[in-house]
Structure formats: structure tokens, C-alpha cells
Amino acid sequence: MTTSGAQAHERTGNVDEHKQKVLEDLIDMSHRLGQPERELVILGEGNTSARVSDESFYVKASGTQLETIDAGGFVEVSTERALAILDEDDPSDERIIELLRESGVDGSGLVPSVETILHASLLSMPGINFVGHTHPIAANAILCSENPKLLVGNRMFPDDIVCTGPSAVYVPYTDPGVKLAKAVREGVQRYVEENGFLPKLILMQNHGIIALGKTAKEVETITNMHVKSCRIALGALAVGGINFLTPANVERIFNRPDEKAREAMLFGTRKDGYSKGDG
């Protein structure tokens, strides 16, 4: 590499600007996911993260709250070091905390969330830049029930398909931390093999949900839409049962070009000024 000093300086400036923007988007997303009236998390529940580069990402520090978190509540973590924890042979809880602390690259000494390994694994997949993990009351009413898979492969209305995809990844109850990170990674890999595209939503039995987005807005939209679906399902069950869309209906909505454009508009992932009316 023969980058001149001036170019190197300019590049560093751009990197800093990019990191600042990522952190700001992550803080805003976390505040909105943490608003108590939305019933997605209480106290220190849930955690969020955002990809900085191939080398690192920001993740919520242990002991912080989404509602009030600021820049000092996030740790910049080495993706490589966080993923290396997956190769440890049955590490003790103390060893994991030590490894998590050592995975930080910002010198803050903060311990990243116990779910950092899970975030590292998801953020190293193509197109996933923001991750939001919450414990919504409406979602957990279903995930903690006798019928936890109710909304894994079933869809009730078009916007749910546009926002959360035709189906979700389901992960049976697993001990949080390394075991859960492995189970989620395997679940996502299986989903990609079966469908040929990445999932947007992961549903974890007796635990909560994970939304995967290109943007912070996408993570919020997926979370909001899934919570809405859960409330509709619970309401429909109270009035005689749910009328799910047929697989053919779901497939049709998922592949319609106007719905694809609508998805891009909703998530803020298109930069070409899409201007067609609300389809």
C-alpha cells in the first residue's frame, strides 16, 4: 500500500464519520426499542449492535438499559475475537466474561453483553448491519406458550410478509451465551440453505426475538411489525381462531416487484429515489 499521508488522513476522517453515524443510528434505535410504553423490554433487558467494518462492531455493554443508553454504554468489539469464543471448549461463565472483556478494542474496559458472540455471528453475515434483540410481551405470550411456533412459518397479512419475510428462524430454548449463539447461527444457516436468502426475524422459545436489518430503521420496522402480528394473532384466537394466508398467497406477496420496492422504501435501503405511490 502506498497511500500518501494526505489520503490516509482523509480516509481516517471518513472512517471516523462513518463510525459516528453508525453509533448515532444505533443509539437512536436503542432508545426507541427501549421506550417502556412499547413493551419490548424492561430494566436491562435486550441488547443491540451495529457493524462498524469487517473488523469490529458496537454492542451494548452489560448492565446498561436501552431506554437511556448513550455512547458510553456501547463497547467496540473485535469481530474476530468475539467469534473465537465459539471455538472455546465448554468455557466457564468466568472465562466467558474474561474473553468478552478482552474482545473490546476501545480500551473502555466495559464488559460487552453476554449475547455479544451472537451479535458477532449475525453481523458477519452479508447485508446485516444492525441487530436488535428484545423480549416483547406480545411475542413472548406466544413464545412462552404451548404453541411457540405459531408465527414461525405462518403469515396473516401482506405487510407482515413485506417487513418480516415469508417465515422466521425458530430456535428452541437454549442457555443464553455461547450455546445460544451456536444455536442461532445453526438456525440461520439452515434457513439460508432451505430458502436461498437471509432471514429478517429470529424467534427464540421462552426468550424473545431478534430483528436483522441493513439499517437501524429496518430493525425497528421488523420488531414493530412482528409485535403487531402477535397482537393480531392473540386477538384472532380470542374470536374463534386465526385465518392464515395460504402459502401461495405468501409466496405471491413476497415476490411481487411492487412489494419489493415498498420494502426498500419502508426500510430506507434504496438510494435511487423510488417515488411510486404507497402500494
From the CB of 107, what's the least distance to Zn ion, in Å? 27
How deeply is 93 buried, as exposed, middle or buried, from its count of CB atoms within 10 A (0-12, 13-18, 19+)? exposed
Stretch that binds Zn ion, among 67-75, 200-208, 231-239, 245-253 (CB under 5 A): 200-208
Stretch that binds Zn ion, among 32-40, 73-81, 140-148, 204-212 (CB under 5 A): 204-212
Nearer CB in complex with Zn ion: 40/52: 40
Contact predicate 145/205, CB 8 Å = no
218: nearest Cα among 230, 226, 229? 226
Give the number of residues written for the chain. 279
Stretch that binds Zn ion, among 16-24, 102-110, 203-211, 223-231 (CB under 5 A): 203-211
From the CB of 206, what's the least distance to Zn ion, in Å? 10
Residue with cell 466495559: 110
From the CB of 207, what's the least distance to Zn ion, in Å? 6
Nearer CB in complex with Zn ion: 164/174: 174
Report the alpha-carbon distance of residue 104 to residue 79 in Å, rounded: 9
Nearer CB in complex with Zn ion: 75/162: 75
Stretch that binds Zn ion, among 155-163, 190-198, 207-215, 262-270 (CB under 5 A): 207-215
Q: Cell digits for 221?
A: 420496522
Nearer CB in complex with Zn ion: 1/43: 43
Helix (H, G, I), strand (E, B) or coil at 9: helix
Stretch that binds Zn ion, among 145-153, 192-200, 208-216, 244-252 (CB under 5 A): 208-216
How deeply is 128 buried, as exposed, middle or buried, from its count of CB atoms within 10 A (0-12, 13-18, 19+)? buried
With CB under 5 A, what is the number of residues at the site for Zn ion? 1
From the CB of 47, what's the least distance to Zn ion, in Å? 7
From the CB of 56, what's the least distance to Zn ion, in Å? 22
Contacts of 267 (CB under 8 A, 6+ apart): 213, 214, 215, 217, 218, 221
Contact predicate 126/189, CB 8 Å = no
Nearer CB in complex with Zn ion: 131/250: 131
Nearer CB in complex with Zn ion: 65/249: 65
- The footprint of Zn ion (CB under 5 A) covers 208
